[in-house]
Amino acid sequence: MKKLMLIAASALFMITGCDENKAEKTADVKTAAPVVNQTAPAAQPAAEQNVVKSVDWDKALEMNAAGAVFVDVRNPPELNEGYAPNAVNIPLPELKQRMGELAKDKDLLIYCRSGRRSDAATRILMEQGYDRVYNVLGGYLAYPKK
């Protein structure tokens, strides 16, 4: 019985001690100055910086007719399947070295076979300051065959 009382008293002591510690931490958090993220540019909120803009093939073809450039990030052998009209082929592994070939003042429509590489390519270009880049949904597999 004495052991049970001792265990109960110890447990009660530990619980109240933990609650006091938690209260002190909460008080410290409430009095601390808010942290401001100064690494994000003021022009765009941080949440919007990583958002990949996507378009379907109908919209991409419409944008291409208005002057947007298709960028095919597939490897050369994959081009045997076909490609979008007047597409520039820059395979994803070469993109960082060849991105100077892409104009920042034009809309760039990025596609690959299924969409995974084009999403990665779009993110790479966005990280390098390209803001007019669009991932074409579904890749060339979704290209409208006429």
Active site residues: 112
What span, in angstroms and rounded, lies between the C-alpha atoms of 82 and 101?
22
State the CB neighbour count (10 A cutoff) for residue 9.
Answer: 10
The DSSP result for 103-146, as a single string, is -TTS-EEEE-SSSHHHHHHHHHHHHTT--SEEEETTGGGGS---
Name residue 55's beta-bridge partners: 136
Tokens 């084009």 -> residue: 118
Q: Name the token pair of 71.
A: 């960028």
Residue 21 CA from chain centroid, whole number:
39
- The phi, psi pair for 130, rounded to 5°, reads -80, 125
